[in-house]
């Protein structure tokens, strides 16, 4: 609400069905609401944007603005005509990059921009690996499979086709499944292209589509070399563990516990919790990994400001041992200027919500359901 008092408008981006519209309607219950998604509405807006805006009474929520990004220019004119009126234009969008382009060209300094992801464990205790954090799955867990099946279909038909001219949706669907099986690994575009029989530029384009619609995150290697020769390729993670489990065909807690993908799903979940904690605190996304050519690897490195650097390992285990923190200590010997915090994130101990503990000197043990709260503290 603070931003609504500072800016003429607000924009909330994030994946489809993350709760953007619900959040705005709860914060601004008296605002008009207009969904910019039906073809006839889009045609009307594009054919006569001035008349469309003249018929609105602010404050107004304009939902799915990525469908008519040209409307930003006309909204800007109205903002500039009444600069003292704050928080009157409330907008959402499911495609971050196209929206950011429109904003950088026409709305700089006029609107507050936020990214909303599905729920974190800090926001709901019902968030889990299998369900993920989408509000509708949290509210109706028994409909999980139906929800994700419909979500993927809707995503393919709406978001993907609106961004790029993908002719073979069946191949793109296979790409989603193959990429899910590579979540948490170093990104190899050539291997993905070979598996699908498409070109490397096509794989790069499809990855771009997933990234700008907040379905995946590409995590780069840490830019400091710590005196070592580094692996320079990024890693890829799915943003929602529930969607990842669906794409992997995992449909029960038992199946997940027995799956070879438990580790990657757990890593993806931890990566998502880190990013959610940053965005929810109003910070930019800043997360890296480390791997050198001698095989030393740290799952996540997170800058914490004031020269502090958080080193995190994600271990999908309820059995803790000091060896889990060995790589953290090995890398810390070359930390140089950084003040390090080191932690191992693990599965909750059975029958306990989990409590923070010391794994070895200088290394904390964090139960996964506490990671978001711990990062926010």
Q: Mean pLDDT over residues 284-311, rounded?
A: 90
Q: pLDDT-based confidence at 232, cuts 50/70/90?
A: confident
Residue 354 has pLDDT above 70, yes or no: no
Q: Mean pLDDT over residues 151-160, rounded?
A: 79
Is pTM beyond 0.85? Reply is yes
Domain 2-115 maps to which CATH number in 3.40.50.620, 3.90.1150.10, 2.20.25.90, 3.40.50.300?
A: 3.40.50.300
Q: Which two tokens stand for residue 166?
A: 């993908």
Which CB contacts under 8 angstroms, 24+ apart, belong to 97-105?
97/208, 97/211, 97/212, 98/66, 98/69, 98/163, 98/212, 99/11, 99/13, 99/65, 99/66, 99/69, 101/69, 102/65, 102/69, 102/70, 102/72, 103/11, 103/72, 105/72
User: Quick one: pLDDT at residue 175?
Assistant: 94
Residue 141 has pLDDT above 90, yes or no: yes
- Domain positions in the chain: 2-115, 135-376
Residue 65 has pLDDT above 80, yes or no: yes
pLDDT tens digits for range 310-336: 999 999 998 888 999 999 998 888 777
**Cα distances (angstroms) measured from residue 369 to each of 13, 116, 131, 208, 346:** 25, 20, 14, 30, 9
pLDDT tens digits for range 202-221: 999 899 888 888 899 999 99
User: Quick one: pLDDT at residue 350?
Assistant: 47
Residue 184 has pLDDT above 80, yes or no: yes
Is 240 within 8 Å of 136 (Cβ atoms)?
A: no
Q: Mean pLDDT over residues 227-254, rounded?
A: 91
Q: Mean pLDDT over residues 335-344, rounded?
A: 86
Calculate what percentage of the chain has a pLDDT beyond 90: 57
Residue 130 has pLDDT above 80, yes or no: yes
- Placement of tokens 């090995």 in the chain: 330
User: Quick one: pLDDT at residue 351?
Assistant: 40
| CATH class given for the domain over 135-376 | mainly alpha
In this predicted structure, which of 255-259, 307-311, 349-353 has the lowest mean pLDDT? 349-353
Q: Which two tokens stand for residue 182?
A: 């590579």
């Amino acid at each position: 609400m603070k931003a609504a008092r500072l800016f003429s408008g607000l924009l909330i981006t994030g994946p489809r069905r993350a709760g953007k519209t619900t959040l705005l309607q709860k914060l601004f219950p008296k605002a008009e609401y207009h969904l910019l998604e039906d073809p006839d509405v889009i045609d009307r807006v594009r054919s006569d944007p001035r008349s469309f805006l003249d018929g609105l009474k602010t404050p107004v929520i304009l939902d799915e603005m990525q469908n008519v990004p040209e409307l930003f220019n006309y909204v800007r004119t109205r903002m500039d005509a009444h600069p003292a009126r704050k928080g009157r234009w409330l907008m959402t969008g499911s495609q971050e990059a196209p929206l950011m382009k429109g904003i950088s060209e026409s709305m700089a300094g006029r609107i507050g921009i936020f990214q909303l992801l599905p729920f974190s464990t800090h926001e709901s205790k019902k968030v889990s690996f299998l369900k993920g954090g989408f509000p509708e799955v949290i509210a109706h867990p028994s409909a999980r499979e139906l929800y994700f099946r419909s979500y993927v279909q809707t995503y393919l038909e709406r978001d993907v086709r609106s961004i790029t001219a993908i002719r073979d949706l069946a191949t793109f669907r296979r790409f989603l499944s193959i990429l899910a099986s590579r979540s948490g690994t170093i990104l190899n575009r050539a291997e993905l292209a070979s598996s699908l029989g498409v070109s490397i530029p096509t794989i790069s384009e499809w990855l771009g589509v997933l990234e700008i619609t907040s379905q995946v995150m590409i995590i780069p290697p840490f830019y400091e070399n710590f005196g070592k020769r580094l692996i320079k390729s990024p890693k890829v993670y799915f943003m929602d563990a529930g969607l990842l489990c669906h794409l992997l065909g995992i449909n029960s807690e038992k199946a997940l516990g027995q799956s070879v993908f438990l580790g990657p799903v757990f890593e993806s979940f931890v990566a998502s919790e880190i990013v959610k904690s940053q965005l929810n605190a109003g910070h930019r996304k800043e997360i890296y990994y480390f791997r050198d050519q001698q095989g030393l690897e740290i799952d996540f490195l997170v800058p914490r400001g004031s020269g502090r650097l958080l080193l995190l390992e994600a271990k999908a285990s309820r059995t803790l041992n000091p060896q889990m923190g060995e790589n953290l200590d090995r890398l810390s010997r070359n930390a140089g200027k950084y003040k390090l915090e080191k932690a191992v994130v693990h599965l909750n101990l059975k029958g306990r919500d989990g409590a923070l503990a010391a794994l070895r000197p200088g290394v904390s043990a964090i139960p996964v359901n506490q990671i978001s709260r711990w990062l926010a503290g």
